[in-house]
């Protein structure tokens, strides 16, 4: 059974009771949790408030809408019973009824200890008792009987598996050798064991271990010896590359002396490593972790708030056809924009959750396909936002065109700034994206244009007079730099009217004065407060700056 809780609420409840409840109270809660476990149905859903009340006798505050799946409740309650009973350290002789150890259950039902462990994962409730001075797993007689009565066929099947006779062992080896001869490279050890186990009414693991022991003890007559040598990274890369270019798994298995199933596992491993090597960034939000997040977040883009389809803007005269076509894409209103950003980040969050649990050596095709699907859908939302804002880049680039600045290079550079802005924008703060993007694009131009001019000045070619005589079509070639300097001086004066903590947060959030931009979480750790508190202080500081800007008749994009 997995040792990880499926829902953090029940783990948090266990931690709270471990920390604060007295020993007698914890023992009572173990009893109540096990009683509740017998009533839970996997196909139903249960409010967390009900689960908590049944265990502790009180209703929690702050989680009235939290609903848990029945199978998750069953899984977590079994962990809750075992973990909380371990903190009680109840001697086995003080239990209210007989307690059986793993060995006791194994002898009674004539099964292996491993089978008993599998039963725990399928519903057999275990507790921790002090037995012979040591904490050990034990099963109440009543818990064991409940499991046996509801899993009769499984218990009987386990009891049928006895030690192999020599004749049965020889029959297994004979069948495996025959399958390997007639289907070379197509059926591996695990699949062979599964088929033989089904025919001979044995467990797959018993047959697999028998075949492995035979190959280990008889290397010259080994059945699966060709698959024993591990492949190096270069061979794995070649197999994956050839598979993507159209080579079949069967052909690759024959060429590299592998089984088809091992080739598929290798392909999944390389595919998983490729996915994990790509960077995945997203803006997290507390709503993403809610049970009904998918139904609340994913859905069609809302219609315009006005109820009317947005009119297409007329492109400025003189634009090339490619740039003119950008004006055919309708703009997004605030609600549509927020919806797309929320969807994009939630899809990335879902992909991140699966990636966190991904083990490349055991990667499942379904998990890899789900990660790729989520990332592709997130990319589609991102591209939709970018297309709707490309004309913004054109508008800003036009204002910076001069003799030394190529318009198309400015647009290309501005597009990269726009893409970065989409990835970094925190929609939950309530700001308009076009404001944030304009600030990011202009800040980038303020840095790259002087750098480019400086490079040109260093590498003149003797034709300076040609550049000096070129007409400057801008109203003032220093207009932008002067405006930016005035804006920076104004912002510096306004920041002086904030308190130290507000000023620190505003400077770090917007990267002012050369400071590196920081997230809410990073600032929270640095200041020793929560992420939500940082958000509140930032909002308050921005409101102060808006009032000051209105008083002084200033227009600042960051506000």
Are residues 116 and 136 in contact, defined by beta-carbon separation less than 8 angstroms? no
Q: What is the pLDDT of residues 449-497, one digit of tens each?
A: 766 555 555 554 444 444 334 434 333 434 444 555 566 666 777 788 8
Q: Which one, of 41, 96, 45, 39, lies nearest residue 69 by Cα?
A: 45
259 phi, psi to nearest 5 deg = -90, 160
Give domain limits for the chain: 8-142, 166-226, 233-277, 291-459, 474-559
pLDDT value at residue 199: 86
Query: What is the phi-psi region of residue 430: left when phi exceeds 0, alpha when psi lies from -120 to 50, beta otherwise?
Result: left
CATH class of 291-459: mainly alpha
Following DSSP, what letter does each residue of 174-220 receive, concatenated? Answer: HHHHHHHHHSTTTS-HHHHHHHHHHHHT--HHHHHHHHHHHHHH-GG
Q: Do the Cβ atoms of 21 and 29 come closer than 8 Å?
A: yes
Give the whole-angstrom CA distance, residue 443 versus residue 423.
17
CATH class of segment(s) 474-559: mainly alpha
The sign of the torsion formed by the CA atoms of 525, 526, 532, 533 equals positive
The two structure tokens encoding residue 117: 């462990």
| Cα-only R_g, the chain | 33
pLDDT score of 160: 57
| Same topology between domain 291-459 and domain 474-559 | no
pLDDT tens string 60-84:
876 667 889 999 999 999 999 999 9
What are the backbone dihedrals phi and psi of residue 130, each rounded to the nearest 5 degrees, phi first?
-90, 110
Residue 547's H or E segment, with its range, is: helix 531-552
Query: Who contacts 9 (Cβ-Cβ below 8 Å, separation ≥6)?
Result: 48, 63, 66, 68
* Whole-number pLDDT of residue 434: 87
pLDDT at residue number 480: 44
Q: What pLDDT is attached to residue 111? A: 77
Give the pLDDT of residue 66: 85
Both tokens of 533, joined, read 């508190």
Longest dimension (CA), the chain: 102
Question: Which residues on adjacent β-strands are paired with residue 68?
Answer: 46
All residues at 6 or more sequence positions from 72 whose CB lies less than 8 Å from its CB, including other chains: 6, 7
Q: How far apart are alpha carbons 196 and 187 in whole angstroms?
A: 12
Torsion of CA 176, 181, 184, 186, to 10 degrees: -40
Check residue 455 and give its pLDDT.
57
Q: Are 407 and 401 in contact (CB under 8 A)?
A: yes
Residues of the chain with confidence (pLDDT) below 70:
1-3, 62-64, 157-163, 183-187, 225-229, 305-313, 316, 318, 322, 403-404, 450-490, 511, 513-516, 552-559
Phi, psi of 99 (to 5 degrees): -120, 135
DSSP string, 90-128: EEGGGSSS-EE-HHHHHHHHT--HHHHHHHHHTT---EE
Four-residue CA torsion sign, 494, 499, 502, 507: positive
Which of 241, 134, 250, 128 lies closest to 185 in space, CA to CA?
A: 250
């Amino acid at each position: 059974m997995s040792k990880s809780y499926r829902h953090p609420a029940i783990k948090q409840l266990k931690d709270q009771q471990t920390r604060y409840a007295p020993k007698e109270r914890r023992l009572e809660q173990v009893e109540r949790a096990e009683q509740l476990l017998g009533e839970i149905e996997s196909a139903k859903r249960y409010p967390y408030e009900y689960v908590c009340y049944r265990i502790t006798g009180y209703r929690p505050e702050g989680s009235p809408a939290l609903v848990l799946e029945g199978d998750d409740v069953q899984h977590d309650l079994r962990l809750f019973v075992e973990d909380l009973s371990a903190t009680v350290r109840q001697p086995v002789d003080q239990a209210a009824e007989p307690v059986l150890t793993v060995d006791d259950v194994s002898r009674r039902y004539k099964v292996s200890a491993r089978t008993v462990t599998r039963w725990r994962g399928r519903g057999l409730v275990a507790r921790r008792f002090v037995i012979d001075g040591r904490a050990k797993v034990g099963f109440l007689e009543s818990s064991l009987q409940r499991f046996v009565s509801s899993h009769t066929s499984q218990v009987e099947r386990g009891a049928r598996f006895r030690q192999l006779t020599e004749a049965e062992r020889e029959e297994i080896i004979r069948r495996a050798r025959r399958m390997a001869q007639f289907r070379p490279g197509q059926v591996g050890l695990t699949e062979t064991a599964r088929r033989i186990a089904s025919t001979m009414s044995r467990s797959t693991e018993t047959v697999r271990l028998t075949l492995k022991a035979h190959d280990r003890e008889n290397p010259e007559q080994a059945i699966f010896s060709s698959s024993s040598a591990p492949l190096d990274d270069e061979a794995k890369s070649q197999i994956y590359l050839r598979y993507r270019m159209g080579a079949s798994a069967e052909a690759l298995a024959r060429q590299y002396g592998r089984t088809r199933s091992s080739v598929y596992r290798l392909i999944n491993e390389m595919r998983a490593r490729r996915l994990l090597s790509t960077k995945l960034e997203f803006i997290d939000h507390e709503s993403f972790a809610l049970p009904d997040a998918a139904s609340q977040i994913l859905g069609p883009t809302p219609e315009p708030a006005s109820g009317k389809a947005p009119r297409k803007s007329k492109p400025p005269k003189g634009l090339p056809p490619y740039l003119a076509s950008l004006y055919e894409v309708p703009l997004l209103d605030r609600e549509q924009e927020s919806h797309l950003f929320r969807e994009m980040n939630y899809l990335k969050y879902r992909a991140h959750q699966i990636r966190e649990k991904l083990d490349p050596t055991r990667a499942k095709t379904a998990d890899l396909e789900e990660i790729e699907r989520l990332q592709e859908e997130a990319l589609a939302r991102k591209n939709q936002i970018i297309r709707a804002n490309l004309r913004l880049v054109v508008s800003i680039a036009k204002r910076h065109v001069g003799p030394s600045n190529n318009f198309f290079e400015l647009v290309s550079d501005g597009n990269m700034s726009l893409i970065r802005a989409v990835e970094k924008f925190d929609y939950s703060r309530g700001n308009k994206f076009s404001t944030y993007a304009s600030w990011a694009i202009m800040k980038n131009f303020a840095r790259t244009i002087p750098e480019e001019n400086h490079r040109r000045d260093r590498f003149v070619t003797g034709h300076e007079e040609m550049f000096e005589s070129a007409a400057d079509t801008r109203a003032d070639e220093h207009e932008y730099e002067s405006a930016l300097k005035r804006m920076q001086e104004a912002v510096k004066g306004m920041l002086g009217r904030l308190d130290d903590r507000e000023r620190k947060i505003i400077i770090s959030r917007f990267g002012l004065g050369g400071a590196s931009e920081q997230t809410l979480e990073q600032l929270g750790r640095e200041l020793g407060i929560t992420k939500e508190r940082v958000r509140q202080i930032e909002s308050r500081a921005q409101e102060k700056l808006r009032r000051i800007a209105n008083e002084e008749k200033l227009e600042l994009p960051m506000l």
